[in-house]
Structure 1
Amino acid sequence: MSQAMDTFMDAGGVQRLEAYFRRIGDILGEESRRSSFAIYAMGLLGDGERKSIEPIAARACPDPSKMDAMHQRLLHFAVDSCWSDREVRQEAARYALSAMTQREPVEVWIVDDTGFLKQGKHSVGVQRQYTGSAGKITNCQIGVSLSIATRTEHLPIDFELYLPESWANDSARRQEARIPEDVTFKTKPQLAVQMIGRAVADGVPKGVVLADTAYGTSSEFRAQVRSLGLDYAVGVEPQTTISILDNEGRPHGEAVSVKDMALSIQERGGFRRCTWRSGTREELSARFALRRVVAAGVPKGQQEPLWLLIEWREGEPESANYFLISVLERITKKQLIRLVMQRWRTERVYEDLKGELGLDHYEGRRFPGWHHHVSVALCCYAFIIAERVRHFPPSARGADEAYAQPLQA
């Protein structure tokens, strides 16, 4: 059993895992799918170094003469078996969120993306593209994710594979990769809105949507988030233009870029230091400025007052980050800063999913297989998070320590 599971696998934990597999099995239906899911999930939860289908089959089948049959069985489950990723992910999210929200309310929904490094050019969606996972342009797939977070826990509930136009608009590639006809080219922000819309429809407890500049700079993304009844706190590019609001809430003066606004505030000494994380590992602080604004370039009927939060780190020649925030309720500057900084928790989750549960170990080339593999990984993560909530009460650790800890803690 992997480190991620060692802490929890007492007799009660085993019983809960069996009951959880039965819940997922009720969604999968036929017995062969139930059994294959359990084998696959235990392969991801186990301590094997590689967690693609072939090594999972080898570990699950001690009889070498039967290993090929096991491999084919798991391959069929991942690639050819017709089961609903959405319904399975819904059940996993319900299970974990039930435990999480008994302890703390949901605070934020976090949109982000991560790279799946690949060799060759035949895996669905692969091409040379930038990924923050490698910090450069490289040969990879990109997965866009949606996570739900309380003060101390962070649960990924959905993933979509980003299909570049070179894949989405190539009929031969689509056929070979078994891309469904209703899957068309969508930008990463459009994929994110699609997942947010599903979560709203599923009744997931609402939170403020967090996203980096790749999403937040899009005025369309921000507008769609608001149309779904959610607030946002998102990064924007330095060239994003805004207008300052006067004391009566009316735009004042000419529209300027957020970068120029930051320089103007800096000249007047308007930045103030704030510490947003005081954990056992380190204290994190920077200088911040906060202004009431409206986004420029938005039709007047669609404009709404926003907060512009600017971060300027010590010794840097210009601001590090700019955020537009639609939260209008009474909230302090420090609370806004803590809110937007929660987005970086997703990096810890990606490390856990990849390092502990083999999220990026799938070696197949087809669209259904990628999503089925990710669904099983999300199910495994959901169970671990629910167990961690049961074993570690909130008084035992603060939010800063919680999201800095690896999955097995």
Structure 2
Amino acid sequence: MTAHTRPRALAAMDTTLDDFTERLFGHLPRADQRRWARVYLQGLLTTPGKKSVRRLAASVTASPTASQSLQQFINASPWDWDPARRELLRWVEERHPVHAWTIGQAVFPKRGEHSVGVHRRFDPAAGRAVNCQFGFGLFLSLGGMSVPVDWRLLLPEPWAADPVLRGRARISPDVAHRTPEALVLELVDAMAVHTSSAHAPVVADLSRLSGAGPLIGLLGRRGHDFLVSIPPALAVSAAGAAPGRGEPAGAPGREITAGDLARSGNTRHPYTALLAGPAARPQRLRIDSGLVRVPGAESGAPGTRRTYRLFGERHPGAGHGGGPVWITNMTGHRMDDLLHLVRQSAESARALGSLTEDFGLLDFEGRSFPGWHHHMTLMSAAYAYRALPALRDRQGRQGYPVLEVRQSA
């Protein structure tokens, strides 16, 4: 598809796309860099199927050298992606209130051993270990849609320690190996510095992170409200009121796993959530809730024994089997407010699916560390450019599915 044959709807939006590109990428020092940013964005928005650099270039321009120039811009050109991400954050915040900061995990399957950060990792979606890159994205949850604004790529220790691998992937000297927990905290810290809005609750799936306990302690000590899913094996202890008053039956102070405590939780006054939506019949979801302490979250300093609310989902027909276990420091919030935040995590998972299907999340073919970040930045920008008008249109036509919560008699 050439510039002369691109869709009429996009042609009508050209001025807006030009302005959008200039705002996010106006910091690039050269005019040709800004031009190729515009080409890449337009290609992501219009190219069907796989979003390889070659296909993106061919869909926007008939120039025989466009593919090579676009490849150079993405993989080799030394431009800083952070200013574009900060401007994207401000652009989204100007247009919609932010309900939560949600952390999403992404697995990028790869062939061979040359893509930056590639390693073997268990992929829950595939049910097996795969050769992949692994990263985290921070999404702004807008109440009906989530938009990515920042990313981190896990750099395994062999990659961080090998000067040959670092040189081949053009990894900057200031980039070191960080644990998954450290990358999550880095995303939240960066967001706290650059947001122009009030801090929103942090919502994250930490259920596969071995350091979930210390991480929630660090989030709390930094002043963040949070709601995170945790490993069922995480050690916790019951706290608060005696059984029969809405708290778990476990003896206060005795350590027990989060999963066991969630399953033996509030049996006298459970919450029943009704999942409602325009295309689905309401389903009952039992929520067992209780106050806990998390030994692994405490810093050891005086006065750091914090109390959290833990709750577990028990789906119809699941018996006493374990569903997700969530923990929050927002102990004074109503359960329906907490369950609304749980839905933000599902929204980010849907956004990751859309990024994969429609915006080339897994299609970056280069091997450089800057190239990966360049692609993720431009992909996030294209998604936001398409998503915000769609969200406003949806809000104008209909309401959102709600999560109604009732306390059983």
Paired residue secondary structure (2:362): coil
Contact 1:116 1:360 in 2 (8 A): yes
Change over 3 Å in CA distance of 1:391–1:259 after alignment to 2: closer
CA–CA distance in 1 between the matches of 2:330 and 2:368? 41
Paired residue secondary structure (2:147): strand
Aligned to 1:55: 55
CA–CA distance in 2 between the matches of 1:16 and 1:302? 51
Moved more, 239-248 or 341-350: 239-248
CA–CA distance in 2 between the matches of 1:399 and 1:27? 40
Paired residue secondary structure (1:186): coil
Matched, 1:326 2:322: no
Contact 2:121 2:129 in 1 (8 A): yes
CA–CA distance in 2 between the matches of 1:292 and 1:6? 55
Matched, 1:379 2:373: no
From 237, 243, 260, the counterpart of 1:243: 237
Matched, 1:82 2:52: no
CA–CA distance in 2 between the matches of 1:154 and 1:253? 39
Contact 1:208 1:230 in 2 (8 A): yes
Aligned to 2:407: none
Aligned to 1:289: 288
Paired residue secondary structure (2:376): helix
Aligned to 2:272: 273
Give the AA of the match of 1:75: Q
CA–CA distance in 1 between the matches of 2:114 and 2:282? 45
Deviation track 1:161-219 (CA, whole Å, cap 9, x = no partner) reads 11122212222111111111111111112111111111110025321111111359622
Contact 1:294 1:305 in 2 (8 A): yes
Q: Offset at 1:38?
A: 0.7
Give the AA of the match of 1:281: A
From 94, 97, 100, the counterpart of 2:96: 100
Change over 3 Å in CA distance of 1:264–1:92 after alignment to 2: closer
Q: Offset at 1:380?
A: 0.6
Paired residue secondary structure (1:238): coil
Give the AA of the match of 2:259: K
Contact 2:235 2:294 in 1 (8 A): yes
Aligned to 2:164: 172
Q: Runs of 5+ in structure 1 lacking a partner? A: 402-409
Contact 1:100 1:389 in 2 (8 A): no
Matched, 1:255 2:249: no
Give the AA of the match of 1:186: R
Equivalent residues in 2 for 1:320-399 (5 A)? 320-329=323-332, 331-393=333-395, 396-399=398-401
Give the AA of the match of 1:189: E
TM-score by length of 1: 0.86
Paired residue secondary structure (1:234): strand
Deviation track 1:219-241 (CA, whole Å, cap 9, x = no partner) reads 22112222332111111122222
Q: Offset at 1:115?
A: 1.2
Deviation track 1:116-162 (CA, whole Å, cap 9, x = no partner) reads 11111111111221224434211111121111112222111111111
Change over 3 Å in CA distance of 1:339–1:204 after alignment to 2: same
Matched, 1:218 2:212: yes
Q: What percentage of aligned pairs have identical amino acids?
A: 25
Q: Root-mean-square deviation (CA), in Å?
A: 2.6
Q: Runs of 5+ in structure 2 lacking a partner? A: 404-409
From 224, 231, 235, the counterpart of 1:230: 224
Paired residue secondary structure (2:252): strand
Aligned to 1:187: 179
Change over 3 Å in CA distance of 1:391–1:341 after alignment to 2: closer
Moved more, 371-380 or 150-159: 150-159
Aligned to 1:405: none
Aligned to 1:145: 137
Give the AA of the match of 1:24: L
TM-score by length of 2: 0.86
Q: Offset at 1:342?
A: 2.3
Aligned to 1:301: 303
CA–CA distance in 2 between the matches of 1:19 and 1:229? 36
